[in-house]
Amino acid sequence: MDKDHSVSQLLHETEGRQKIRDLQAKIDVTQYNIEASEEIISHTPSDAQREKLRGKNDQRRHAVGSMKKEIRDIEQTMEERGRERA
């Protein structure tokens, strides 16, 4: 039974690390999109288009914050599981 439990914990830890990598990749892409959009905003003569892009950037910033929180939550869960094994 101990061996099954260890395998299960290792699987959860591996999945957690992969999810963190995936989330970090999404954060990186989103931050790039924010930067690219800011550059476009600075060269866009249309007020309506600028406002639309600013709104999208606000949504992107909120999404980045949510993904960072999810990473912290996964890390905390992994840490707690690690203490349970000790």
Asked whether the beta carbons of 41 and 52 are under 8 A apart, the reply is no
Q: List CB contacts of 21: < 8 A, sequence separation 6 or more.
A: none
> 61-77 pLDDT, tens per residue?
999 999 999 999 999 99
**Is 0.75 surpassed by the pTM of this model?**
yes
Assign 86 a pLDDT band (cuts: 50, 70, 90).
Answer: low
